[in-house]
Amino acid sequence: MASNPPGAEPSLSRLSIPPSIAVAPSDPNAFRLEDSDEESSSSERQPSRLDVMQESAMQASQEIPLNTPSVAETTHTAELSRQSKPQPPLPPIGDKDNAPDLFLPGLVSPNLFLPIPNTDPLTPLLTKYVPPEIRPARDTSGNWRQEDFHTLVMTNSWRAIARMARDRIVASKPQNLAVILDLWYLRLSSLARLRLFNQTSAECTHLFSILASVQPRSARTYLYERLLPFELEVMRTRTKYWAGDALGYLDELTFVLKSCKRRARAAGTEGEREMWKERAVRIALIIASQLIEMKDHAGAAKLLEPLCTQGSRPSAAILSCIGRIQLESGHVASATEYFRQAEEDPNCDSSTKETNNALLAAANGDWESAIRALRSVLEEEPDNAIAINDLAVALLNTGQLQEGIELLEDAMKSSPATVLVTEPFLFNLATLYELRSTTAFEKKRHLLIEVAKWSGDGLRATCLKLPAV
């Protein structure tokens, strides 16, 4: 989200599709649970083989493309994101009499934690562009004792949450391993939200080095299989991504995916089996998002296609997701077919249908049809941020620049707590200001003030397109 170089024409950010590559996992059918000779053994880790990378032939057809939700975004909104159905029950811990006595005082040592900076990316911008008399006060102290946990989450106070987790870990008894590990996940995820990726990786390494030192091996196996939160396993794979090792990240995710499949096969109850299948789906979606970021649209679509054959009827969300991947890669005919199949699903809501129609119309250059479809979505869901963003892009492509600005500004006024923490939304609005007139600086400064009031911690300040120096 860096600002454009001098003389370059500004372009709008996309709300959901990350950049993407072509690396196919060794087992494209991520959801097959039958035994296979190619499966890695349960006790030995085999790295996934990554095929040769190929350049994506598809280049952006326009400066300001209509936003196409990616796999990761669909998980946030319409797709498999936060599914309304309840999660399967956790697997039973087993007979407590057979559980090993684990005492790990190293997990609660204060020396494992690094200090959190008291500044954030917005502070230099506020100091440079906003006079003290109108500068919003921002609390970067990380004091968590004055607010309850729910309020801290709703206000994006990740610095305070990270410090709260650290304080509670240090104050915990080493015997309470389950609670301590949950607090560790809270700590690491909050640091990641703050974009302190190096610190997150360092503390995650400290944690797993202690866990790996548990003896005997049976006790360590019990710890990893029964007590370690699944989210912490996923967090550990993410450290590869933050280190810039994209292929290593895919390898780690592939290993976790195979582990989920193995545990699903070995599950003793239907509830436990369903839980591990759900987790396999989640990991496959993460892999697909990474493949899209690496521009391997074909690999991402191939990875998700097995989900279309599961159950009596393919999911409209998955079909739409694959269709949008095909659309981004330039395969309009294939995308049209997936959208048609999604529309035939009786469980497919009108919002998904109209969004698919809008994206297809935009790909074909029919912006008027795209505008009509998106307005139809907003009639049913006035607070749909993705539809608002896409409609603003469509209006711009038909020359209705002022209407696009007013649309985004109205959304900002009606739902500031939601909109003003969405970086692509802010980037698009800042870009429209630049395209409209020479008063863009004043408009962006006002936007900075509003963001400082509502955004909380962890916002990437470059989305405002204001240089810090």
Which tokens in the block code for residue 137? 């006060």
Nearest to 284 by CA among 11, 71, 427: 71
Residue range 215-239: average pLDDT? 93
Residue range 299-321: average pLDDT? 84
| Separation CA 248–CA 345 (nearest Å) | 38
| Multiple choice CATH, 383-468, 1.10.3470, 3.30.160, 1.25.40, 2.60.40 | 1.25.40
How far is residue 174 from each of residues 168, 224, 451, measured CA to CA in Å? 12, 17, 41
Q: Where in the chain is the domain with CATH 1.25.40?
A: 383-468
Residue range 75-95: average pLDDT? 42
Per the listing, tokens 């360092």 go with: 202
Per the listing, tokens 């496959």 go with: 284
Element (H, E) at 232: helix 230-242
Which tokens in the block code for residue 165? 């987790």
pLDDT of 77 strictly over 80:
no
Instruction: Provide DSSP, 70-121.
Output: -HHHHHHTTSSTT-SSPPPPPPP---GGGS-----GGGG-GGG-PPPPS--T
The structure's pTM equals 0.76
pLDDT of 379 strictly over 50:
yes
pLDDT of 202 strictly over 80:
yes
Nearest to 352 by CA among 325, 386, 327, 383: 386
pLDDT of 173 strictly over 60:
yes
What pLDDT is attached to residue 410? 94
pLDDT in tens, 359-371: 999 999 999 999 9
| Separation CA 62–CA 350 (nearest Å) | 28
Percent of the chain with pLDDT over 70: 79
Nearest to 2 by CA among 288, 407, 431: 431
Per the listing, tokens 């080095």 go with: 209
| Separation CA 462–CA 469 (nearest Å) | 12
| Separation CA 187–CA 191 (nearest Å) | 6
**Neighbour-count burial of 220, counting CB atoms closer than 10 A to its CB (0-12 exposed, 13-18 middle, 19+ buried):** middle
| Separation CA 417–CA 203 (nearest Å) | 30
Nearest to 314 by CA among 88, 34, 31, 22: 31
First to last CA, the chain: 16
| Separation CA 292–CA 318 (nearest Å) | 15
Nearest to 67 by CA among 410, 381, 409, 404: 404
Q: Which amino acid is at 396?
A: L
Residue range 70-95: average pLDDT? 41
How far is residue 341 from each of residues 77, 331, 396, measured CA to CA in Å? 20, 16, 31
Per the listing, tokens 């400066």 go with: 63
Residue range 221-234: average pLDDT? 93
Residue range 434-447: average pLDDT? 88
| Separation CA 460–CA 13 (nearest Å) | 13
| Separation CA 124–CA 115 (nearest Å) | 20
